[in-house]
Structure 1
């Protein structure tokens, strides 16, 4: 049975959420924020439940190397505007600094990790990369229906370390459509 957010006590936890923020950009400006807005019910449920949120996504096809044109910085700025709150951002999803930021989050805070596909371990479903991602949270939620069919580290490998894993509201809606 697939568990949704309802199944978990979120209070005081870091919730690691795989979202699909693969949105169109014009330079450094988001031109369609539909996918960002679609993730907000899951994010809000976590925040209202007393959790901190760590978000991870990909953008485009950088083929395992950094490409500033595919940075999630503009997505973080768009999300901050939509949520009307600051969003912490880390420019490397598995660096020591990124992990420190996640581990120091307080309830109600959001941390966005840089583009997963900047690391070749994402598409390769590398176990070490997946393990490094998993360190960001105590509960894993997949809310990225558009990428759920991919055998990538953020969808597949990341799950095994978690005692608690499930799906968000967008994924639930798509599965029960």
Structure 2
């Protein structure tokens, strides 16, 4: 009987020791998971702060969001520019600021550059900062400011620009140098 009690006690103690040892591993894993989650949250916060400091834009963040955050703003809902030069070389800008999404694209055949998303948006917004015309500004002034803002040559064949302003008004500008 004593041997049976001893064997039962030993088995029970081994089970308890095993269970205790297993719990320690779970705590370490849980602690590491919590640390990893904390690190991920911290990294996201730091990245968001860096984005705001650089005045770059998260693909899901709208220009309106940036305005409320003290960042960049745009008076254009849509900006579609197409400037054609000799030898079928063109410079195209497409910018749209819908309520939930900003899309931006530049196709620069002059310098053989294509930009989309955040890179294109940064370049477009820098050009927008140089534009101070409004809906009632004369067409020649608009053309001149746009060419200067995007660093384009005046010797184009065709200049087409369609802008939808914040007011919802759409204005088209067309010039030909044949």
- What TM-score, normalized to structure 2? 0.27
Indicate the structure with greater strand content: 2
Mark the structure with the bigger radius of gyration.
2
- What TM-score, normalized to structure 1? 0.27
- More contact order relative to length (CA 8 Å, sep ≥ 6): 1
Indicate the structure with greater helix content: 2
